[in-house]
Structure 1
Amino acid sequence: MGFFDRLKESLTKTRQSFIEKIDQVVTGRTGIDEDLYEELEEVLIQADVGVSTAMKLVERVRKGVKARNVQEASRLKEIFQEELEYLMGEKITPIQLNPEGPTVIMVVGVNGVGKTTTIGKMAHNFKEQGKKVLLAAGDTFRAAAIDQLEIWADRVGVDIIKHQEGSDPGAVAYDAVHAARSRKADILLVDTAGRLHNKSNLMDELRKVHKIVAREMPGAPHEVLLVLDATTGQNALNQVKIFSEAVNVTGIALTKLDGTAKGGVVTSIVTEMAIPVKLIGIGERMDDLRPFNPKDFINALYGKTKDNA
């Protein structure tokens, strides 16, 4: 089974709470009225699309119906898909690589979102591309975090820079940047502690790590990737806002899309945030983390096949 088919399978619950509910709202109706638009908006909000995006989408559908002079409710589904595609766009935003030396990618996020696993899978993907990868165990607050990253380093077959539990995360970042240079690594992936985004002292620590990386390598970090858990739904948007205030988040990796009914949150992240979704994760396999392709996502959401998408 290819990645597109696995994506389609992983979006089953989201499809049921999102696309199939829209079909239910439209089915059996003859005309299009205000009640229909209100029900459509309600379905979108319940599918974790978010209030602002739901209102924007319904307004676009309303204008699309008027512009085409559509009378039949059944045609609203096709207009909705067109407007969803318009809002999501077709642009794939790749990870920015530094052509002049090591690319430093700082990975941030709260506890439990799959941050360390995301780093491991990224390391695997980069290694598959023939790149030399180095990991930095910057989450020194938990011994388990260092151990977990070390397991991934062994599994993927890459080097790791680590200090003892409780040591200064900034010192790990410092050593890692210098090691990446001296070992001629192509990619340095820096893990950070899983911060509770409402703990200001931990966010200050994150700023410090960012500052040290930038000081030791001008232009770095080249990416600050925020890992979000799709199962948290709209709470993910709050995390985007708060982490963006602390450090310059350049991209989002959305994990755990498999098995959640809250995949609709992708829509609000893409349309409401100025930060692109760069990666999505749909399972435990090494290759279950891939670049986010909005067109493929919508086609998978609608249960289409790759050929007739």
Structure 2
Amino acid sequence: MAFWRTKKAPPDDSVSSTEAAPKSGGGLFSKMRAGLQKTRRTLNTDIRDLFKSEGRLVDDTLLNELFAKLIRTDMGIGPAETIRDDVATRLRGRVVHFEEVVQTITEQTRTMLQQESTELRLADTGPTVILVVGVNGSGKTTSIGKLANHLHQAGHKVVLGAGDTFRAAAVEQLTVWAGRIGCDIVTGKPEADPASVAFQCVEQAIATGADIAIIDTAGRLQTQTNLMQQLEKIRRVVEKKIEGAPHEVLLVLDATAGQNAISQARGFSEAAGCTGIVLAKLDGSAKGGVVLPIREQFQLPVKFVGLGEGVEDIAPFDPASFANALFSE
């Protein structure tokens, strides 16, 4: 078992783009708007094409065409129907322009995305333990690095646990992130028991007075029973060290997966006891609407969204900013 106390490292041009140097940015809305650029462009172009300069009558034909355009963002039939029906209730029989319809859609989207809180649940005493799960290729390890940096910048002392011991690249990648951020990391030997890494990570967090321990796990499918049982073991091990841990089990979903992300969320939310979602790769997708069916079907709060490749390109999810950024020109 190895424990590394890293110092913040300077940018390294040899590191891949997923660990690119931080980008400068404005406020939360600006980050959301930039991250949703592809989805927004698709929506606005498609919806604008439905209207003439003199406006258009809101009738069944327009409503059906609008529904088809909304579906393209992978928001699913249910949310698309809700938005279409809201437009019908407010505007049917009127001649309206593009801007008026978009305003109505934005307001309804904001309402549908409301959730109790995006805040991380923190332990009453001692370190907060965050377990991060997801399928291979979802952006899980990169999201952990971004989340660790976000918490570090907010003044929290963070320890990382490289629990994906079966993939050397994941340990390497997380070690690079730790060096960039300037936080501690606990690693194990290749193919070591992930539960032992989790145990050591929590022990190290307690010993050093860290505020938060973030534990990576091996990517898996929700249908892989043995690996899902492994998650259960990790949960039991960390709970022995800290009562109530893990305090958060965050499921990382790839926004580019669209509707496939729904089945991932269903499987993991049941098997791993997920408490929240990190929606990764939002900037690379025109399917940002997938957040709507995720919220509709699972009632899992979206805690963070990944908005780019840089270490700072993550933001707490804010329904109002998301809805406005999704449709603003």
TM-score (norm 1): 0.91
User: How big is each residue's C-alpha offset from its partner over 1:192-218, in whole Å with a ceiling of 9 and x where there is no partner?
Assistant: 001123322222212221222223321
Aligned to 1:39: 65
Structure 1 residue matching 2:288: 3-state secondary structure = coil
1:91 CA displacement: 5.7
User: How big is each residue's C-alpha offset from its partner over 1:86-134, in whole Å with a ceiling of 9 and x where there is no partner?
Assistant: 2123765111111311000001111112111111122212222222111
Structure 2 residue matching 1:165: 3-state secondary structure = coil
Pairs within 5 Å for 1:272-291: 272-291=297-316
Aligned AA for 2:56?
Answer: T
Alpha-carbon distance in 1 for matches of 2:307, 2:143: 11
User: How big is each residue's C-alpha offset from its partner over 1:142-171, in whole Å with a ceiling of 9 and x where there is no partner?
Assistant: 122112211211221111111101111111
User: How big is each residue's C-alpha offset from its partner over 1:228-275, in whole Å with a ceiling of 9 and x where there is no partner?
Assistant: 111111111111110011111111111111132111112222333210
1:62 CA displacement: 2.2
Aligned to 2:22: none
Aligned to 1:22: 47
Aligned to 2:130: 105
Aligned to 2:157: 132
Aligned AA for 2:79?
Answer: T
Aligned AA for 2:90?
Answer: G
Alpha-carbon distance in 2 for matches of 1:138, 1:270: 28
Aligned AA for 1:187?
Answer: I
Q: Give the alignment's Cα RMSD to 1 decimal.
A: 1.9
Aligned to 1:213: 238
- 1:2 correspondence with 2:26: yes
5+ unaligned residues in a row in structure 1: which ranges? 305-309
Alpha-carbon distance in 2 for matches of 1:157, 1:215: 28
Which residue of the other structure, out of 180, 196, 202, is the alignment partner of 1:171?
196
Alpha-carbon distance in 2 for matches of 1:190, 1:97: 15
Pairs within 5 Å for 1:145-184: 145-184=170-209
1:222 CA displacement: 0.6
Alpha-carbon distance in 1 for matches of 2:264, 2:175: 27
Structure 1 residue matching 2:57: 3-state secondary structure = coil
Alpha-carbon distance in 2 for matches of 1:264, 1:73: 24
Contact 1:109 1:226 in 2 (8 A): yes
Label 1:33 to 1:279 Cα distance change in 2 as closer, same or farther (>3 A). same
Aligned to 2:266: 241
Aligned AA for 2:82?
Answer: K
- 1:194 correspondence with 2:216: no
**Number of residue pairs the alignment of both structures matches:** 301
5+ unaligned residues in a row in structure 2: which ranges? 1-24
Range with greater deviation from structure 2 (41-50 or 75-84)? 75-84
Label 1:270 to 1:27 Cα distance change in 2 as closer, same or farther (>3 A). farther
Label 1:7 to 1:199 Cα distance change in 2 as closer, same or farther (>3 A). same
Aligned to 2:88: 62
Alpha-carbon distance in 1 for matches of 2:154, 2:109: 33
Q: Which structure carries more relative contact order (alpha carbon 8 Å, separation 6+)? A: 2
Structure 1 residue matching 2:279: 3-state secondary structure = strand
- 1:87 correspondence with 2:112: yes
Identity of aligned residues (%): 44
Alpha-carbon distance in 2 for matches of 1:16, 1:161: 42
Aligned AA for 2:80?
Answer: A
Pairs within 5 Å for 1:108-127: 108-127=133-152
Alpha-carbon distance in 1 for matches of 2:116, 2:199: 35
Alpha-carbon distance in 1 for matches of 2:146, 2:253: 15
Aligned AA for 1:55?
Answer: E
Aligned AA for 1:194?
Answer: G
Alpha-carbon distance in 2 for matches of 1:90, 1:31: 34
Alpha-carbon distance in 2 for matches of 1:10, 1:174: 36
Which residue of the other structure, out of 76, 94, 101, is the alignment partner of 1:71?
94
Contact 1:133 1:159 in 2 (8 A): yes
Which residue of the other structure, out of 54, 67, 74, is the alignment partner of 1:48?
74
Alpha-carbon distance in 2 for matches of 1:158, 1:267: 34
